Structure 1
Amino acid sequence: MSNINEQIKKETEEARNVCSTEGASSGDCAAAWDAVEELQAEASHQREKETPKTGFQQYCDDNPDAVECRVYED
């Protein structure tokens, strides 16, 4: 996990450099920040995998039709 955090820092620094030299509206700037965003998303997914499920989450995984586990969208 620390490796991905180091990579995020490196890519963030690179994105700032690209944007300062090429302009904030350049395609290279947008691509650099997209790379940072993808790394941050991956880090988030890795943290999510490390977090153990609660008893309720496990119950809902085993019983998705249970009244307590229903999810209503607005």
Structure 2
Amino acid sequence: MTNIQEKIEKELEQARETCDTSGATSGECAAAWDAVEELQAEASHQRKGNNEDKNSLEQYCDDNPDAAECRIYDD
């Protein structure tokens, strides 16, 4: 996780420099901040984890794969 945090800090620095150089309303500035936002979204996704994406039945089936509710039938 620290690796993505380091990337975020690096992109933050670069975005600030880009906006100082080319102006706050430039396309380069907007693109730099988009890169920061994408990294922050990825970090948030990694923190969330896969288990929270599952509904209660999916979590139950992960814990009890042999339960009748969790059987999968092929046609």
Same fold, TM-score > 0.5, yes or no: yes
User: 1:34 aligns to what?
Assistant: 34
Q: Which runs of 5+ in 1 are unaligned?
A: 64-74
Aligned residues: 58
Residue 38 of structure 2 aligns with an amino acid whose one-letter code is E
Task: Point out 4+ residue stretches in structure 1 off by more than 3 angstroms.
Answer: none
Residue 5 of structure 2 aligns with an amino acid whose one-letter code is N
Q: In structure 1, what is the Cα distance between the partners aligned to 2:40 and 2:10?
A: 12
User: 2:22 aligns to what?
Assistant: 22
In our comparison, the structure showing a higher alpha carbon Rg is: 2
Q: Which runs of 5+ in 2 are unaligned?
A: 59-75
| Alpha-carbon distance, 1:37 to partner | 0.1
- Residue among 56, 64, 68 paired with 1:61: 56
**TM-score, length of structure 2 as denominator length:** 0.69
Q: In structure 2, what is the Cα distance between the partners aligned to 1:22 and 1:3?
A: 28
User: 2:73 aligns to what?
Assistant: none
| Alpha-carbon distance, 1:7 to partner | 0.1
User: 1:69 aligns to what?
Assistant: none
The one-character-per-residue Cα deviations of 1:10-51 (angstroms, maximum 9, x if unpaired) are 00000000000000000000000000000000000000007x
